Amino acid sequence: MKCITISQLNNWKINQYKFAAITAYDFSFAKLFSNQGIPVILVGDSLGMTIQGNSSTLSVKIKDIEYHTKAVRKGAPNTFLISDLPFMSYYETKQALSNTAKIMRCGANMIKIEGGRWLTEIIKELSSRLILVCGHIGLTPQSFNYFSGYKIQGKNKHDANKLIDEAFVLEEAGIKMLVLECIPKKIAKKITENLSIPVIGIGAGKYTDGQILVMQDLLGITEENTPTFAKNFLAESNSIQEAVKKYIQEVQTNVFPNIKHSF
C-alpha cells in the first residue's frame, strides 16, 4: 500500500469513494490490516476495554496510547494513523499541545479528541501548529457517566440540531476529520453532506464518507457485548484476512452498514 495522506482522504470524499477504517493496538494486527488494504487505522482508547479489560475507556493514559501507537506504526508504516488523546489529557491548551507532541512523535498522523464547542480554542491552537485534528461527537465514550451509559445521541430535534451545530463549529475551528458515533443516519447524512472534511461513522448509518469498527467487534471476539451497529465479518469468512477484505468491500459498495446496523 502506498502512503495514505489527508489529501487522499479529502479526494475520496470529493469523489464519493467510501473507505473502511479499523482500530488496532499491536504490530501483528496492524500489519495484517494494512496488507489487506485498510487505509485508516485508529489507536483508540477503546483499548481500555478490549486490551486492558476495564469497563470503560477512562483508565487509559497517554503512556498507553504512546506504547500502542509505536507498535501499530511499525506494523502499518503507510497507513493513515489516528491516535486518541485519552480522558483528561486535553482539558486545557498547554496540556493538549504537550500530549499531542508525545503521540505524534510515536508515529501518529492525526490525533482524535472527543467533545463539541468547548474544544474550539484547543483545536485552533493545534491547527495553527499544523497538527491534524479529528473531532468526535455523538456518543463520546469518555463521557459515558454523563450520558448514563452508551446510548444513542441526537434522538430529539433539540439534540439533533446541537450535533449539527457542533459539527460546523468544529470544522470552522480547524478539524480535518470528524467521527460520528451512535447517531441517527439522517443526521449523519446532513452533517456529511454539509462538511468539506471526511466524516467517518460508527453506528451512524451508511451516508458517511467512511466507516470504522473496533477490530474485536469485526472479528466477533466481543460476541456477548457486540454493539447492534457492528457486524461479525469473521462469521461468514474463512480467515481474518478474508473477513477484513469483506469489510472493506461492503463499505466501498455501501452494503455495510445496512438498516440493521443503523438508527
Residue (of 174, 182, 143, 118) closest to 58 by Cα position = 143
Residues annotated within a binding site: 45-46, 84, 112, 114
Residue 240 carries which side chain, given as an amino acid letter?
Answer: I
Catalogue the E-assigned strands of 44-113: 80-84, 110-112
Rounded (10°) angle between helices 27-36 and 62-75: 50
Match 456518543 to its residue by C-alpha cell.
139
On the CB side of 218, CA atoms within 13 Å amount to 27
In the chain, DSSP finds a helix count (H) and a strand count (E) of: 10, 8
CA 139 from centroid of its chain's CA atoms: 12
- Catalytic site residue 92? no
Q: What phi and psi, each to the nearest 5 degrees, are found at residue 144?
A: -65, -30
Residue 14 in 3-state DSSP? helix
Give me the catalytic one of 181, 193, 223, 236: 181
Cell of 7: 489529501
Residue 65 carries which side chain, given as an amino acid letter?
Answer: I
Question: What DSSP designation does 90 have?
Answer: S
Buried b (16+ CB within 10 A) or exposed e, 57-87: bbbbebebbbbbbbbbbebbeebbbbbbbbb
Residues annotated within a binding site for 3-methyl-2-oxobutanoate: 45-46, 84, 112
How many C-beta atoms lie closer than 10 Å to residue 131's C-beta? 21
Please list the active-site residues: 181
